[in-house]
Structure 1
Amino acid sequence: MTSIHEKSPQTVEAAESNAEQSKEVSTQLTGPPSERQKWYQWFAPTDTPAERRLILKLDGLIIVFVFLAYWAKVLDSSATSTAYVSGMKEDLKLYGNQLNYLNTVYMVGFITMQIPLTLLMTRCPVNYFLPAADLLWGVFTLAQYKASNVTQLYALRFFVGALGGFFFPAVQWYLGSWYKRSELSRRGAIFFIASQVGSMSSGYIQAGAYARLDGRYGIEGWRWLYIICFACTIPIAFMGLCLLPSTPEKCRSRFLTHDEILLAQERMASENREPRQPFTVPRVIQILKGWRLWVLVAFAFFFSQADGVFSNSGLSLWLKAEGYSVGSINTIATVSPAVTIVSSIICAVLSDVYNAKASLIAVTAVLNIFACVVLAIWNVPVGLKFFAFFLSGTADGIAAIIYAWANEICAHSAEERALVISAMNTIGNTFGAWLPLFVWKTVDAPRYLIGYNWTIALDVCMLLMLVVLQHFWTREQKISRS
């Protein structure tokens, strides 16, 4: 038996061979300095014509579907609140805290089913699982328009939350099964900004639908909101059933040739991204004993709570307190998601081209700290206050690169990738469901002094966790190369 400290000649030769392969893969990923990918280039200079055709096909088959599906889900996230003030409260006799209870039931389904459904997806053909979940989500969404009492809504909201909640981590895992490190952040950013586009467009869609459809065919306006969500979802789900490929190791697609599937498998092998394996108890124990799950989930906690300025409508409430009109508030408030979209794209491009994940995360945290320091001081020039509110929109701009990094770190195990990514998202949503009640109290609006200082502390902790994460990841890379 060869000891850990004493290698046999065969082991040395294998290590040297692995080192050479690692060096070749590294060169393929980054290329020589003269061939490094430019920020405006969609393909790397080292991509062959066959790879470029494959990448374009994957973008058309996968990215279009996940973007549209995520956009449709954001419409529903605001539909219940809009329906509540558009007649649902009176029709269903909702009083007291029943709207809060509806949101709570939704979040219970959203949070509790993220990890189980994401792990279940790794056992099933993804090209059927994701669209089927989307179809069911659309059906349960539609069923809400027929609700005659709040009890029925409670049950329906749970299933809507469960079927929609796992979509984000599931898609992040799915993207990591097809795209290389130098491609993943940009695709993740395109997927992520669908939520921002959805939040910007949902108000206009719902307002227009209520104004034009209220009473049409004897259906109240608030019920039409759920019908519209269903109508948006079903065509997208069927599109997914027709277009989506599964994962490379077991792929059957009418749009990908046999050679392209083999090329996709080779691309993932060059990234050391392992295909799916049996999800056994020893494998679960191995994942739980490793550092990746705990460090990445802890890091995700700080990141997920650091967007509180934007997610708690600090800008809108300040504008309202300053006497701005409703139209002006709605218009100005769209700047924040626009900033998130732009920062997401910039961070994704720089991350893919320069592999600068840690630097981009650090810069974003510092920018958010500056914004929150200004808002905590509060008594500053109006222009600076506007700038701080808008700057806080960059906090979510690193979402895509964080999940792309998790895909890269957990590349050796498809099951660990699924568990880690879903756990990262679950922990953020779990704490996000109740922490704002204590930190972002409505009575403190618009000067959320506790909230702004809390966000500063979160970003400082995120910077510290970034050092820890970088340490573990660098150490593991050194071990794998030795």
Structure 2
Amino acid sequence: MSVHNEKSTETVEAAETPVLEQSKSKENYEGDQTHGVEPARQKWYQWFAPTDTPAERRLILKLDGLIIVFVFLAYWAKVLDSSATSTAYVSGMKEDLKLYGNQLNYLNTVYMVGFITMQIPLTLVMTRCPVNYFLPAADLFWGVFTLAQYKASNVTQLYALRFFVGALGGFFFPAVQWYLGSWYKRSELSRRGAIFFIASQVGSMSSGYIQAGAYARLDGRYGIEGWRWLYIICFACTIPIAFLGLCLLPSTPDKCNSRFLSADEIRLAQERMASENRQARQPFTLPRMLEILKGWRIWVLVSFAFFFSQADGVSSNSGLSLWLKAEGYSVESINTITTVSPAVTIVASIVCGVLSDVYDAKASLIAITAVLNIFACIVLAIWNVPVGLKFFAFFLSGTADGIAAIIYAWANEICAHSAEERALVISAMNTIGNTFGAWIPLFVWKTVDAPRYLIGYNWTIALDVCMLVMLAVLRHYWIRERKRARN
């Protein structure tokens, strides 16, 4: 568990005031750094910017070790649970708990209710608490509720447990995006966000193998059915990671105590955030909330996030696997071939993250990705094309999620002036995507239309076109704000 270092904290508190006063005295610094002259950026193969001092480089490496390792592992564990219930259902849970109706759908619905309704509240609560305790504590409770599912004796118990699992896991993604924005400069955020995001793809690729191996070797061990072991494994993966977070994570630079960061390093982190106009946490009052809701940022960014969040339908609705099954491919071949899509997403995420940080090319990367996804969906909507081209289109659609990290990095940059606005906007962006993603596929990606999904592919084309329009709107407002800041 993170230890409070009294000597270091006293030094930090003594140094914090002049640092904050210095940032306030640089009222026009935002015009020079954030909205005006671009900071020096590294080459694509470099991890640090040319202007980073040796002290900054040591700090960045420490932050990567303390923060990125934990959030990657924790997100990977979350993905294991997201598929555990579906795997458990077909591995004996259906018969043991007599789930012969629509109970699986209801379980998923209850999970999504907790996931969606608690994202914004818990993210905002986190901004008022020490993050180094809040995130690992939420992970611990998430692990406990996940474990409790193995003892369920009826579906009613599962309903209650799935709600809490959804609530405690749902806010993790926006909370981490906000947390990364509290420590890293805008020329560093996209790569870290990409590393964090690809944990979900690694999880989806590995979960099937882990669960299949566990079921085959543990079914009946100690009198416990195989499907119950799946939840025990999720718990066993989560608890060590949560304790790792309690030991490693620093809070935010404005109120930081850490056994691994010295007073000088904390002061340097504060100065780095001040140079980015990344403001420390302030009281979250009703007038402040109304001010945020009256601004353009939340409405434009959330609208943009809606179109982005729905545009990955090709890869998220099993079109490739269902087509392969209809073509007579073996189960082994289907399982192998479908791992290409998340692999494409991983590569796209890394490439977009690096290029975004090096060239500050967020808008261009988003536009290119949308065009690639439009091309893929046009091919799939036509359908009667050469088999090789159809494979290429399915795999190409995996790039749709590759821009997730840079979209949230951009939101961190746009809302840099307010920690509270960053938290509200980022969590709202993610919530709106999950809210619509919970029911739109029921009408657009109908199982009876599989594997062609003509409505779904045309819907995705429309989403990407709308995303390009919203990209133009977002750039317009952002460029206008930067011009006003310079004047």
Whether TM-score is above 0.5 comes out as yes
Q: Alpha carbons of 1:21 and 1:418: their partners in 2 closer, same or farther (altered >3 Å)? A: closer
- Residue 375 of structure 1 aligns with an amino acid whose one-letter code is L
- Residue 351 of structure 1 aligns with an amino acid whose one-letter code is S
Q: Does 1:372 align with 2:381?
A: no
Partner Cα separation in structure 2 for residue 89 and residue 422 of structure 1: 34
Partner Cα separation in structure 2 for residue 277 and residue 381 of structure 1: 58
Residue of 196, 221, 226 corresponding to 1:221 = 226
- Residue 22 of structure 1 aligns with an amino acid whose one-letter code is G
Q: Does 1:297 align with 2:313?
A: no
Residue of 428, 436, 451 corresponding to 1:423 = 428
SS in 1 for 2:184: coil
Q: Which runs of 5+ in 1 are unaligned?
A: 1-15
CA deviations 1:447-476 (Å, max 9, x no partner) are 000000000000000000000000000000
Partner Cα separation in structure 1 for residue 26 and residue 301 of structure 2: 31
Partner Cα separation in structure 2 for residue 17 and residue 269 of structure 1: 9
The answer to whether the Cα contact below 8 Å between 2:30 and 2:277 also exists between their aligned partners in 1 is: no
The answer to whether the Cα contact below 8 Å between 2:97 and 2:155 also exists between their aligned partners in 1 is: yes
Q: Does 1:453 align with 2:444?
A: no
The answer to whether the Cα contact below 8 Å between 1:28 and 1:46 also exists between their aligned partners in 2 is: no
Give structure 1 regions of 4+ aligned residues with deviation exceeding 3 angstroms. Answer: 16-22, 24-29
* Partner in structure 1 of residue 291 of structure 2: 286
User: Aligned-pair distance for 1:20?
Assistant: 6.7
Aligned counterparts, 1:334-349, within 5 A: 334-349=339-354
Q: Does 1:23 align with 2:32?
A: yes
* Partner in structure 2 of residue 473 of structure 1: 478
TM-score by length of 1: 0.95
- Residue 39 of structure 2 aligns with an amino acid whose one-letter code is T
The answer to whether the Cα contact below 8 Å between 2:76 and 2:202 also exists between their aligned partners in 1 is: yes
- Residue 439 of structure 1 aligns with an amino acid whose one-letter code is V
SS in 2 for 1:30: coil
Aligned counterparts, 1:75-94, within 5 A: 75-94=80-99
Q: Does 1:49 align with 2:54?
A: yes
The answer to whether the Cα contact below 8 Å between 2:88 and 2:230 also exists between their aligned partners in 1 is: yes
SS in 1 for 2:328: coil
Q: Which runs of 5+ in 2 are unaligned?
A: 1-24
Paired residues in the alignment total 463
The answer to whether the Cα contact below 8 Å between 1:177 and 1:247 also exists between their aligned partners in 2 is: yes
User: Aligned-pair distance for 1:23?
Assistant: 2.8
Q: Alpha carbons of 1:250 and 1:445: their partners in 2 closer, same or farther (altered >3 Å)? A: same
SS in 1 for 2:283: coil
User: Aligned-pair distance for 1:28?
Assistant: 8.2
- Residue 30 of structure 1 aligns with an amino acid whose one-letter code is P
User: Aligned-pair distance for 1:25?
Assistant: 6.5
The answer to whether the Cα contact below 8 Å between 1:176 and 1:407 also exists between their aligned partners in 2 is: yes
SS in 1 for 2:355: helix
The answer to whether the Cα contact below 8 Å between 2:84 and 2:230 also exists between their aligned partners in 1 is: yes
Q: Alpha carbons of 1:216 and 1:379: their partners in 2 closer, same or farther (altered >3 Å)? A: same
SS in 1 for 2:139: helix
Residue of 253, 257, 266 corresponding to 1:261 = 266
The answer to whether the Cα contact below 8 Å between 1:29 and 1:182 also exists between their aligned partners in 2 is: no
* Partner in structure 1 of residue 3 of structure 2: none
- Residue 92 of structure 1 aligns with an amino acid whose one-letter code is L
* Partner in structure 2 of residue 119 of structure 1: 124
Aligned counterparts, 1:432-443, within 5 A: 432-443=437-448
Q: Alpha carbons of 1:103 and 1:128: their partners in 2 closer, same or farther (altered >3 Å)? A: same
- Residue 257 of structure 1 aligns with an amino acid whose one-letter code is S
User: Aligned-pair distance for 1:95?
Assistant: 1.2
Residue of 202, 205, 209 corresponding to 1:204 = 209
SS in 2 for 1:38: coil
The answer to whether the Cα contact below 8 Å between 2:35 and 2:485 also exists between their aligned partners in 1 is: no
* Partner in structure 2 of residue 271 of structure 1: 276
Q: Alpha carbons of 1:268 and 1:129: their partners in 2 closer, same or farther (altered >3 Å)? A: same
TM-score by length of 2: 0.94
Q: Which has the higher contact order (CA 8 A, sep 6+)?
A: 2
CA deviations 1:277-306 (Å, max 9, x no partner) are 000011000000000000000000000000
Q: Does 1:390 align with 2:407?
A: no
Identical amino acids, percent of aligned pairs? 89
Q: Alpha carbons of 1:157 and 1:46: their partners in 2 closer, same or farther (altered >3 Å)? A: same
